[in-house]
Amino acid sequence: MKGLSMEIFDRNKKPFYLSVVFLSLFLAHGSFALQSQHEKIKLEDINQIKDIGSIDVSKDADLIAYTVSSVDQKNDEYVTDIWMLNFKKDRDKLIVRSAYSPKFSPDSNYVAYLAPGRGKYSDYQQLWFFNTNTSTKRQITKIESSITDFEWAPDGSRIVVVINIEPDREDEGETQKPYVIDRYQFKQDYNDFLDESRQHLFLIEIATRELTQLTDGSSNELFPSWSPDGDHIAYVTKIGDIDRHNNWDIYVLKLDSNENPIQLTTHLGADSQGSRPQWSPDGKQIAYLYGGDPKLLWYALTELAIIDLDTRTSSIITKQLDRNTSAPQWSEDGSSIFFVLEDNMKSQLAKYSFQDQKINTITSTNYYLSGWSKNYAVRNGKIGLILSDLNSPDEIFFFDGKNLQQKSHQNTEFLSKKIISQTETISFKTDDGEEIFGMMVKPHDFDPSKKYPLIIRMHGGPVGQYGLHFRYDWQLFAANDYIVMAMNPRGSSGRGLDFQKIIFADWGNVDADDVSALADYAISLGYIDPQRLGLGGWSYGGMLTNYVIAKDSRFKAATSGAGISNLLSGFGDDHYIREYILELGTPWDHTEDWLRVSNPFFNAGNIKTPTLFLVGEKDFNVPLIGSEQMYQALKQLNIPTQLIIYPDENHSFSTPSYNEDVLKRYLDWYSKYLQ
């Protein structure tokens, strides 16, 4: 649910850094006349789309390594492979199967990556090297623990790794032992019931493969980052009772020293959470993401900040933007910092100049920069990017400061055979005068004299946004003669702090009204059938679906994925215990607040909309109980409903056939009640 701007189909159950496959499908090349000779998008096409993932650029800027994720239909699983782009030879080839997180050595002779080990280490993610000269591979680590992250030392002689250290386990017999729980936060999606596993930093000497532990204790140390001289490592951690707070800070560890790590940031919020601290080229400053007011949780802005290592003073350099930022990286000479800027359905590469203290965008608004992880690398003034536009899917691009060149073509052949419907941007005013922005997709043979059924789709989060990139599921709906609309209601990101925090502790109020206002706008266009309105979403999008149908009975079909409506009875059943209490207070002290945000369940008698509920069996993000209760309520009221539970799946699914099944059930449900 919260803090999750994506919907289903993420694949993150496996240790991959992946973006959502059909969230990044864009318009194929070709005119309408040419497309009329091609095939419509079909349900099974979801398994043909390839997803571009993490990227790294060699220091000489001659090579780019990146990941491509695809569907293995035979084994019903997602696989991620590493590809290499060679600029000099203008060649793109697969170099390693079933691997992720490629990173070049400083001399460009190796690509380090993570993949399962051989033999008894096959259950653990190990560090591997690919030799760029001989194309040979070798396993570097042989440990009975998984490596989750790593970073090369500046001279290439060492690598710092993050290793997940699990507690010793007794041999289990045929009967599984009971879970013994005494932690404040005792469960987590994808990790089930939490034990005392911790992630610590280790140092690997490449020549000897000697492994030295750098940190220990009850905290997790993440996102290590080398100082330019190779003498220090910055990392991110939170200390104390880590289950009860989200106060992440940056620490610096001096190698070959008995000195204790130095705490750099002291802000009570989440500093550099989910992001590697970035040293300036001279080693005197660190760029990081400032998490904002901790009391605002995910409603706070994530801003770019700089801390001086001598004075320990910080300054936020993107304050003027009033927008979320991510993925900072210094220019080679330290005169500027590149970062990803999120703004009203756009995602662009931007640059802050220290000389004039100005911010300029680097990539055009015609391109959408994917921001799941480190999606660009600056080397010698040249930048590798993962970009999309309205004529192509996510692909690798190369920018030399003047020219932008597309270098990969993973989906070009497939999409060239398909009819891709056009996307339009829309905007409308709510009754109280707020302007809301969104997108509309029409069937490719749209006839304005006809009346079409409408499907409104809503994003998760609640803080998140739909960006200007085309989605496979919207294309599928349009291919089945629906008009699809999506927008970013109040509470979404990309419009500034006031816009996204307005729904703090007030879910399903103004944002639900914005959905109804979108329906009004759609009907006013003249080609939407007001008797055939549908809606749906996943995560908070599923919750918002429930809020809307409890207030607005015009909708004839709804699909609610991984949502919850009876928040009061869900207390303690998901992994957001500290966040809920910060936002709503405790249920016994603030019962009325909990009942207010639970209104779809306690006002279920107002619901008239046939609703399909879908959820993963092991979803600890928005657990099964939320969908079960709403299904049972509508069943009691004799409202057409169905509950679909996907075995052994979490909040987003790792099984391709289940993701395809979700879309099939969407189509069947909407067809039954809207066509």
Instruction: Kindly report, residue by residue over 294-308, the tens digit of the pLDDT.
Output: 999 999 999 999 999
Rounded alpha-carbon distances, angstroms, from residue 199 to 72, 211, 219, 248, 251: 31, 15, 8, 14, 15
Percent of the chain at pLDDT above 90? 81
Mapping DSSP to helix (H, G, I), strand (E, B) and coil, where does residue 85 land?
A: strand
For residue 13, is pLDDT > 80? no
Mean pLDDT of 630-636: 98
Q: What is the pLDDT of residue 29?
A: 37
∠ CA(289), CA(271), CA(106), 5° rounding? 60
Q: Could you tell me how far CA 124 lies from the centroid of its own chain?
A: 24
Secondary element (H or E) of residue 347: strand 346-353
Q: What is the pLDDT of residue 170?
A: 66
Cα(439)–Cα(396) distance, integer angstroms: 25
Cα(522)–Cα(426) distance, integer angstroms: 10
Amino acid at 357: Q
Confidence of residue 35 (pLDDT cuts 50, 70, 90): very low
Token reading at 119? 């033999």
Q: DSSP letter string over 269-304? A: S-SSTTS--EE-TTSSEEEEEE---GGGGGGS--EE
Rounded alpha-carbon distances, angstroms, from residue 168 to 145, 171, 172, 176, 357: 11, 10, 12, 16, 52
Instruction: Kindly report, residue by residue over 636-671, the tens digit of the pLDDT.
Output: 999 999 999 999 999 999 999 999 999 999 999 999
Q: Are 545 and 563 in contact (CB under 8 A)?
A: yes
Confidence of residue 37 (pLDDT cuts 50, 70, 90): low
pTM over 0.85: yes
Strands (E) in 517-670, as ranges, are 528-538, 557-561, 611-616, 641-646
Q: What is the pLDDT of residue 380?
A: 65
Q: What is the pLDDT of residue 389?
A: 77
Beta bridge partners of 203: 160, 212
Amino acid at 18: L
Token reading at 265? 């940031």
Token reading at 138? 């070798």
Instruction: Kindly report, residue by residue over 450-475, the tens digit of the pLDDT.
Output: 999 999 999 999 999 999 988 999 99
Instruction: Kindly report, residue by residue over 209-231, the tens digit of the pLDDT.
Output: 999 999 999 999 999 999 999 99
Q: What is the pLDDT of residue 258?
A: 87
Mean pLDDT of 274-288: 96
pLDDT averaged over every residue in the chain: 91
Instruction: Kindly report, residue by residue over 100-124, the tens digit of the pLDDT.
Output: 999 999 999 999 999 999 999 999 9
